[in-house]
C-alpha cells in the first residue's frame, strides 16, 4: 500500500484510526471459546464491525506467538481475511523486531512475504544494519520505534547524546539510511509535548501513535503538535475498542467506541476545501 493510497483512505473515511488486534483469550467473550479458532473469529467480527471506521489494523504479534501454532495460524487467517476482503486497509505487524544482517532479512521476509503485511514495527538500537534489510522491501513500510509511550522510555530515549536527546539523534540518523522514505515512526501519545520537536526532524513522515485512551494520551494534543498537511498520523486504540464488551454484543460495542474516536478525528481534521 502506497503512502498516497493511505492518505486517500484517511481523507475518504475522515479517520486516521488504527485498531490494535491484541487478542487475549481470557478476555474475549466466552461463547467464542466453543469455536474451532476463537482468536480468528473474534478478529473477524471486530473487522466486520469496524472496517469502515478505521484505516489500519495492528495485530501485536506477541498475542499470537503466545498461543503457539494455533496463534500463528489465527494471525495468518486474520491477515489473509484483511488482504482479500479489505485491501484498502493498511496492515501493521507490531513485532518490534531488531537484529542484524540475515536475521533481519528473515524477519522482513516473514512479515512482508509470507504474511503479506504492509508494514512492521522495528527497534533501532542495533543501528542501520538492523533496519535496512526491512527497507529493502521498497513497496512496504518500516515503522521504527522513536519515542515510546511507556514510563521506561525515559531510561534511555531522552538521555543526551552528542548534545541532543537520543531519540532525536535516532530520528536524524535514520533519515540517511537507504530507502529511508519508507520509514514511519512510533511516537507515544503520552509524549505529546515532544511532537513539535519530532515534526521539525521528520515533517513529512507518518507517525504511529499508541497511548490514546487506556494509557491517558490526548488525541487533541497529538493532533495539535503532530498533524501535518497529509494528516501524517495513525492513532492506535486497542483495549478501548476490542474489549468494549465481553458479551455477545462485543462487535457492536467495539464499533460504537471506534465511531466515537472516528468522529473526534473527523472534527480535528482540516475541512475539505
Q: Please, what is the angle between helix 250-268 and helix 219-226, to 10°?
A: 40
Residue 104 CA to residue 141 CA, distance in Å, equals 14
Q: What is the DSSP string of 13-48?
A: HT--EEEE----TTTS-GGGGGSS-HHHHHHHHHHH
| Phi, psi angle pair for 87, to nearest 5° | -65, -15
Nearest Cα to Cα of residue 6 among 184, 199, 194, 226: 184
Task: Please state whether 235 falls in left (phi above 0), alpha (psi between -120 and 50) or beta.
Answer: beta
Residue 226 CA to residue 209 CA, distance in Å, equals 10
What is the per-residue burial (b if ≥16 Cβ within 10 Å, else e) of 169-198? bbbeebeebeebebbbbbbbbbbbebbeeb
Sequence-distant (≥ 6) Cβ neighbours of residue 148 within 8 angstroms: 157, 186, 187, 188, 191, 210
- Residues 118/91, Cβ–Cβ less than 8 Å: yes
Catalytic positions, written as ranges: 96
| The pairing of beta strand 56-58 with beta strand 90-97 | parallel
Amino acid at each position: 500500500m502506497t503512502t498516497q493510497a493511505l492518505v486517500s483512505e484517511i481523507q475518504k473515511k475522515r479517520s486516521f484510526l488504527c485498531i490494535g488486534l491484541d487478542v487475549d483469550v481470557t478476555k474475549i467473550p466466552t461463547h467464542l471459546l466453543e469455536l474451532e479458532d476463537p482468536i480468528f473469529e473474534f478478529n473477524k467480527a471486530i473487522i466486520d464491525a469496524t472496517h469502515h471506521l478505521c484505516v489500519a489494523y495492528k495485530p501485536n504479534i506477541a498475542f499470537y506467538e503466545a498461543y503457539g501454532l494455533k496463534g500463528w495460524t489465527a494471525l495468518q487467517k486474520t491477515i489473509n481475511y484483511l488482504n482479500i476482503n479489505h485491501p484498502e486497509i493498511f496492515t501493521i505487524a507490531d513485532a518490534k523486531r531488531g537484529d542484524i544482517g540475515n536475521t533481519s532479512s528473515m524477519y522482513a521476509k516473514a512479515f512482508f512475504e509470507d504474511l503479506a503485511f504492509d508494514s512492521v514495527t522495528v527497534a533501532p538500537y542495533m543501528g542501520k544494519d538492523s533496519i535496512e534489510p526491512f527497507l529493502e522491501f521498497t513497496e512496504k513500510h518500516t515503522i521504527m520505534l522513536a519515542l515510546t509511550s511507556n514510563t521506561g522510555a525515559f531510561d534511555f530515549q531522552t538521555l543526551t547524546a552528542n548534545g541532543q536527546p537520543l531519540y532525536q539523534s535516532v530520528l536524524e540518523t535514520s533519515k540517511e539510511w537507504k530507502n529511508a522514505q519508507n520509514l514511519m515512526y512510533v511516537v507515544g501519545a503520552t509524549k505529546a509535548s515532544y511532537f513539535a520537536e519530532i515534526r521539525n526532524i521528520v515533517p513529512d513522515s507518518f507517525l504511529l501513535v499508541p497511548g490514546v485512551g487506556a494509557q491517558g494520551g490526548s488525541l487533541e494534543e497529538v493532533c495539535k503538535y503532530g498533524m501535518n498537511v497529509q494528516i501524517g498520523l495513525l492513532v492506535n486504540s486497542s483495549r478501548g475498542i476490542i474489549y468494549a464488551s465481553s458479551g455477545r454484543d462485543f462487535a457492536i460495542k467495539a464499533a460504537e467506541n471506534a465511531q466515537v474516536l472516528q468522529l473526534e478525528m473527523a472534527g480535528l481534521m482540516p475541512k475539505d476545501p
